[in-house]
Structure 1
Amino acid sequence: LGARVARHLAGRHGVRRLVLAGRRGPDAPGAERLRADLTALGAEAEIVACDVADRAALAALLTAHPVDSVVHTAGVLDDGLITSLTPARLDTVLRPKADAAWHLHELTLDRGLAHFVLFSSAAGTIDASGQGNYAAANVFLDALAAHRAALGLPATSLAWGLWSGGGMGAGLDAADAQRIGRSGIGALDPDEALDLFDAAVTGTGHALVPVRLDTAALRRRGDDLPAVLRTLAGVTARPDHGDRPRTLGERLAALPAADHEHTVLEAVRTEVAAVLGHAGPAAVEPRRAFTELGFDSLAAVELRN
């Protein structure tokens, strides 16, 4: 997303000098193409190798390349169940987001910045099954923006939903995309997202959630819908359980014992098909292990829920 934003700043807003910092700097894939694009747009682009989470390295960078605005877009995923998140896995995700943001905050306090923009994620606000480390990192960014705003400093934290064709959404497979779609969270077109970026940066809010919501899909989630989304989805009260479908237990209680195994198997196959994005339960081979069917830890969480 950093490359998209850089091109946007140069092309639409006429920014003439950009310092682009990343761990690989000019050796990063696409770096030279990005430099050429920015040069063609009339901007001077300095692509620098710097681990922004390394305070000393960042301090040296800011001394050599002074800036008047900051846009922090870094992000790393290492998804898993909370019980599997070791200190190292937490550090992998928090360091490039939270540590780097805090260093940027402290090292620019005396620079009179015009803008300080943090790319957070809706995972910290709405729904983050299997992403406890990532959610925590993004909540930190939102809190940092609130802290800066309280100090009278420029601050905008954008808790993005998915961008189509870029960012964290670029590596999603079909099953992941379908799973997210069923949750009611759609993908933003990049041009639409950049329009929202402009509106946010020129507005007054310090913590915003630019995300596309499918309200019909949200309503279908029923009791599973997070409280923060209930009003947005037009669900103001819990569903009337008098009209709800019978639970599996209730269905089994009404059937002879001889039918129980088949009924449970079909219920599981139906849910597995939904989680994996298959057309129906017939696509789920009942004698294969979940891992052979394509389950990962996030799919397992959805099936359990």
Structure 2
Amino acid sequence: LNAPAPTTGWAPTGTTLITGGTGAIGAQVARWLAGRGAEHLVLTSRRGPDAPGAGDLRTELEQLGARVTIVACDVADRDAVRGLLDGIDDLTAVFHLAGTRDSGLLTGLTGARLAAVAAGRATGARHLHELTRDHDLTAFVLFSALAGTLGSTGQGAYAATNAYLDALADRRTAAGLPATSIAWSGWAQSEATDGPATTPLPTPAALTALGQVLDHADTRIVLADIAWDRFTEQHPAGPPRLVSDLPAVRAAVAAGTGDPSSAPWLRRLDGLDPAERDAVLLDLVRAQAASVLGHPDSTAVEPDRAFKELGFDSLTAVQLRNQISVATGVKLPATLAFDHPNARALTAHLVGRIVGDSAAELPLLAEVDRLAGLIAGRTLDKGARSQLTARLQTLLADLHGTTEHSGDTVTEKLQSASADEIFDFIDTQLSVS
């Protein structure tokens, strides 16, 4: 990373607390801090010294010159956090990594699930914020996530929790307290993913960036490796305003990626015979499926191979539905990819939704167009126009409510009507004189 000269040069002194310190990323941060001269590291997690690998981590950190304390502490428990902090006389820095995520759609999100996600991350952050006010801290670092900044499919609770961390950092800064909230994308050490548009951050690069953020005393920053062409593909209606002015995003949109006007799928169907039409829609489905799964092109999505075999789950299935809905303008169910389990079956469904029974409806629509032309060609006084409007509104209401049992009769009458008969229809049925 290239960055201007730091405004401050931060270094750990005294005791540094790391919540979630025995986890994969927490351990990397602990090693980094020990390498920068940390005197005393306090690592917490729910299992503390009983966490897998905790003993080896202690030995490694001590070999780097740091004194190490590993404690079992649930940061969602205010009394437990108070007891922990009461035992530290020289606390100078807090790194808050504790937390969990719960993948799921908003429709399945319960209060209990939201509370579970918020407990360690948001509630724990609040406890640390309130209980360290009297400590002379030089750093209060919150490990937020990209989901809280740009959103992430199926991560509503997790996104909201991380947005809270960002807001807390702003609040601390406004109060004159040290605060840094970093919205990370996934690290190489973490199993978490932010979707096909992001590449996991290599640990050395992530730690280098962490040091630069602290040296510059940034309050809020996003650190992520994002492929903007893939990102804009995931937002066919247009990228979020927050990033829409970034040069890389503008370039991707200008190249046609993610710009709805560059892929007018429904317009491409005009004048095509059924075979050509089906091929265009199949291309659409395969392209959107490949985008969701992170493939560079649609060749990885075989038309007859099940979506489940390709790697789709409930979250990516919803994302596929969203992208196809935006591209076609057709409202589709969240279960689309499960109801129609491969690209060819989904294409057949789209044909039915987009084309439907238009062949049978065309004569009726043509007669409606003729009727509209005849009405437009007549000179009507104000009273006649009002009556005509009322009758057309009544017919429209009838059409919405009685199409199933009266549509055939109306169709037959309009198909067989002559111009004179249509005039008579206007005069009698629409009460225009």
TM-score normalised per structure 1: 0.85
List alignment gaps of at least 5 residues for structure 1: none
1:45 corresponds to which residue?
Answer: 68
Give the alignment of 1:92-171 within 5 angstroms.
92-163=116-187, 165-167=188-190, 170-171=191-192
Determine if contact 1:68/1:114 at 8 Å carries over to the other structure: yes
Q: Which deviations, in whole Å up to 9, do the C-alpha atoms of 1:254-287 show, x marking residues without a partner? A: 2124554454344323432443356645743537
Q: Which deviations, in whole Å up to 9, do the C-alpha atoms of 1:44-75 show, x marking residues without a partner? A: 11110110111111111111234221110123
- AA aligned opposite 1:249: L
1:86 Cα deviation (Å)?
A: 1.1
Aligned: 1:284 with 2:264: no
Determine if contact 2:293/2:316 at 8 Å carries over to the other structure: yes
The CA RMSD over aligned residues, in Å, is: 2.8
1:244 Cα deviation (Å)?
A: 4.4
Aligned: 1:253 with 2:277: no
Q: Which deviations, in whole Å up to 9, do the C-alpha atoms of 1:79-111 show, x marking residues without a partner? A: 121111111221221111100000001111112
1:224 corresponds to which residue?
Answer: 238
Determine if contact 1:218/1:233 at 8 Å carries over to the other structure: no
1:201 corresponds to which residue?
Answer: 214
Question: Which of residues 222, 225, 236 is equivalent to 1:212?
Answer: 225
**Secondary structure in structure 2 of the residue aligned to 1:110:** coil
1:225 Cα deviation (Å)?
A: 1.8
Q: Which moved more, 1:277-286 or 1:97-106?
A: 277-286
Q: Which deviations, in whole Å up to 9, do the C-alpha atoms of 1:17-51 show, x marking residues without a partner? A: 11101001011111111101011011111110110
Determine if contact 2:289/2:298 at 8 Å carries over to the other structure: no
Provide the rounded CA distance (Å) in 1 between the counterparts of 2:151 and 2:282. 29
Determine if contact 2:230/2:291 at 8 Å carries over to the other structure: no
Provide the rounded CA distance (Å) in 1 between the counterparts of 2:46 and 2:138. 25
Aligned: 1:29 with 2:46: no
Determine if contact 1:219/1:235 at 8 Å carries over to the other structure: yes
Question: Which of residues 52, 56, 63 is equivalent to 2:79?
Answer: 56
- AA aligned opposite 1:251: R
More relative contact order in 1 or in 2 (CA 8 Å, sep 6+)?
1
**Secondary structure in structure 2 of the residue aligned to 1:18:** strand
Provide the rounded CA distance (Å) in 1 between the counterparts of 2:249 and 2:225. 17
List alignment gaps of at least 5 residues for structure 2: 1-24, 324-433
Aligned: 1:8 with 2:32: yes
Determine if contact 2:232/2:238 at 8 Å carries over to the other structure: no
Identical-residue share of aligned pairs (%) = 44
Q: How many residues align?
A: 292
Provide the rounded CA distance (Å) in 1 between the counterparts of 2:248 and 2:285. 30
- Counterparts in 2 of 1:286 and 1:26: CA distance versus 1, 3 Å: same
